[in-house]
């Protein structure tokens, strides 16, 4: 084990609230139905490949897209398609979804078999067929990340074990319950990409995970475990890369531009298992927590399971939830309905009670500069917020609003309780609309 060589700028130290850290993952039984959206990744939505009345099997591909930035979607159950309809996605966008009623048999589709390939391109196609996306929360199609653009040479692989958001422990459980898969998956990714050196980066407040994974690494593997300082957002891709390698990813550039590939621990663990079994991405480890959750725990859930049934399996609510969040409290997305489904990138479901979800009233900005000091991207949130309040959305481009990672550090430290992250999101949305109008005017 080695120590991280750098420390990223800004960041905060929120309370950990990792009450589920030492609770082993429990497998949830079959739900009454699954509703599987055709968009579970960054990129183009898939088109349904099945129709109402069809019988489908576990691992069967039920949605795909011809677009490069996309990942196919598979059935997590065997049963009958009861509907194919548009649903309101967890982010508020309407997408098509396939609803399936399980038959309880969990028959596996004939296509599920260890992939056969003769070259790197064949292996990458197989990984695309698995439907794998980044399991750390971002949901970027993994096959695309493993295929850097021409002229970009990768020489370092960084495996992200920095689960820095409060409450979430699903990745920690992966490190504790499947360290062999993480090490094996790291080796497989090194083979796929030709990268000669890898680092598995874990925060120092997870000593058992560091010890467990370190014990499996042998001389000659060219893999090192890196101990990171416990600070949010340590798991941010650019922050992690700088901390581990000392390389800065320039504004507007990607990790491949500095020769680095970053992958989540659960992502590489899935690759190891997929190459052995051929089972596509149909399940996910999810942390259930929050003041309104009756029985906080870590659960293995089939993708497409309604949130309501997940909470019911965990004992329901001990009090009326004020807010349900998919993801962590810093970067998660508030859910409008418990009918929404668990997605590929769902790593936590938090049920916050009235006290946890209280919204502090905004007051005027006092120009204290705390948001600037906390921003890990060196932005000036107070000026972006001021321009948004005036409706000067184009002006926010001068302050590089599109570089904001929406980590929430600025809002967390603001003594005036300014809605800074919301301002960032609003500015980005308005700039996208403006760009679309300009593009439409040219056509």
**Tens-level pLDDT at each residue, the chain (443 residues):** 788 778 999 999 999 999 999 999 999 999 999 999 999 888 899 999 999 999 999 999 999 999 989 999 999 999 999 999 999 876 677 899 999 999 999 999 999 999 998 888 999 999 999 999 999 877 899 999 999 888 889 999 999 999 999 999 999 999 999 999 999 999 999 999 999 999 999 999 999 999 999 999 999 999 999 999 999 999 999 999 999 999 999 888 889 999 999 999 999 999 999 999 999 999 999 999 999 999 999 999 999 999 999 999 999 999 999 999 999 999 999 999 999 999 999 999 999 999 999 888 999 999 999 999 999 999 999 999 999 999 999 999 999 999 999 999 999 999 999 999 999 999 999 999 999 888 776 65
The verdict on residue 211 lying in a domain is yes
Is residue 293 a contact partner of residue 325, using CB atoms and an 8 Å limit?
Answer: no
Query: Both 129 and 239 in a single domain?
Result: yes
Query: Both 137 and 264 in a single domain?
Result: yes
CATH of the domain at 218: 3.40.50.11540
Query: Both 241 and 130 in a single domain?
Result: yes
pLDDT in the model for residue 322: 96
The verdict on residue 194 lying in a domain is yes
The verdict on residue 12 lying in a domain is yes
Residue where a domain stops, chosen among 260, 277, 294: 277
The pTM of the full predicted model, rounded to 2 decimals, is 0.94
Angle at 269 between CA 209 and CA 223, to 5 degrees: 65
The verdict on residue 226 lying in a domain is yes
| Gap between the Cα atoms of 28 and 309, Å rounded | 10
Query: Both 147 and 12 in a single domain?
Result: yes
Give one word for 391, left, alpha or beta, with left for phi > 0 and alpha for psi -120 to 50.
left
Is residue 261 a contact partner of residue 154, using CB atoms and an 8 Å limit?
Answer: yes
| Gap between the Cα atoms of 314 and 298, Å rounded | 9
Nearest residue to 305 (alpha-carbon basis) of 327, 284, 333 = 284
The verdict on residue 408 lying in a domain is yes
Contacts for 150 with CB less than 8 Å, ≥ 6 apart: none
Quote the number of domains for the chain.
2
The verdict on residue 321 lying in a domain is no
Nearest residue to 285 (alpha-carbon basis) of 20, 15, 34, 108 = 20
The verdict on residue 149 lying in a domain is yes
C-beta neighbour count of 153 within 10 angstroms: 10
End-to-end CA distance of the chain: 56
Residue where a domain stops, chosen among 229, 257, 277: 277
What's the domain range around 383? Answer: 370-442
| Gap between the Cα atoms of 77 and 103, Å rounded | 8
Query: Both 14 and 162 in a single domain?
Result: yes
Query: Both 269 and 382 in a single domain?
Result: no
Query: Both 141 and 14 in a single domain?
Result: yes
The verdict on residue 13 lying in a domain is yes
Residue with the two structure tokens 């489908």: 56
| Gap between the Cα atoms of 43 and 234, Å rounded | 25
Two tokens, residue 407: 């980590």
């Amino acid at each position: 084990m080695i120590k991280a060589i750098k420390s990223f700028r800004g960041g905060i130290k929120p309370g950990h609230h990792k009450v589920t850290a030492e609770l082993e993952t429990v497998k949830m039984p079959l739900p009454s139905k699954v509703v599987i959206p055709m968009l579970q990744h960054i990129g183009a939505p898939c088109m349904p490949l099945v129709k109402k009345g069809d019988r489908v099997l576990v691992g069967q591909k039920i949605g795909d897209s011809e677009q490069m930035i996309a990942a196919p979607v598979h059935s997590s159950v065997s049963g009958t398609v009861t509907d194919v309809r548009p649903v309101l996605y967890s982010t508020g966008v309407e997408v098509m979804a396939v609803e399936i009623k399980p038959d309880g048999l969990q028959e596996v589709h004939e296509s599920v078999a260890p992939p056969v390939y003769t070259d790197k391109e064949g292996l990458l196609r197989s990984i695309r067929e698995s439907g794998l996306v980044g399991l750390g929360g971002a949901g970027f199609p993994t096959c695309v990340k493993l295929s850097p653009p021409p002229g970009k040479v990768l020489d370092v692989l960084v495996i992200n074990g920095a689960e820095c958001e409060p409450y979430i422990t699903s990745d920690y459980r992966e490190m504790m319950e499947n360290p062999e898969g993480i090490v094996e998956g790291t080796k497989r990714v090194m083979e796929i990409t030709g990268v000669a050196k890898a680092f598995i980066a874990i925060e120092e407040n997870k000593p058992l995970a560091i010890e467990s994974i370190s014990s499996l690494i042998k001389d000659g593997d060219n893999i090192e475990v890196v101990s990171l300082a416990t600070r949010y957002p340590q798991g941010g891709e650019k922050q992690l890369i700088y901390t581990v390698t000392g390389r800065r990813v320039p504004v507007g550039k990607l990790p491949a531009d500095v020769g680095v590939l970053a992958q989540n621990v659960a992502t590489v663990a899935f690759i190891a298992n997929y190459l052995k079994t051929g089972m596509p991405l149909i399940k996910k480890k999810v942390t259930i927590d929050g003041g309104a959750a009756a029985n906080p725990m870590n659960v293995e859930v089939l993708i497409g399971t309604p949130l309501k049934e997940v909470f019911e399996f965990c004992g329901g609510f001990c009090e009326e939830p004020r807010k349900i969040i998919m993801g962590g409290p810093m970067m998660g997305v508030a859910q409008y309905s418990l009918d929404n489904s668990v997605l590929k990138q769902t790593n936590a479901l938090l049920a916050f009670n009235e006290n946890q979800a209280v919204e502090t009233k905004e007051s005027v900005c006092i120009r204290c500069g705390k948001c600037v000091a906390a921003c890990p991207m060196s932005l000036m949130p107070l000026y972006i917020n001021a321009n948004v309040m005036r409706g000067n959305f184009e002006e926010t481009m001068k302050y590089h609003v599109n570089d904001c990672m929406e980590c929430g550090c600025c809002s967390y430290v603001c003594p005036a309780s300014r809605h800074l992250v919301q301002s960032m999101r609003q500015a980005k949305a308005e700039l996208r609309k403006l760009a679309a109008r300009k593009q439409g005017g040219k056509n």
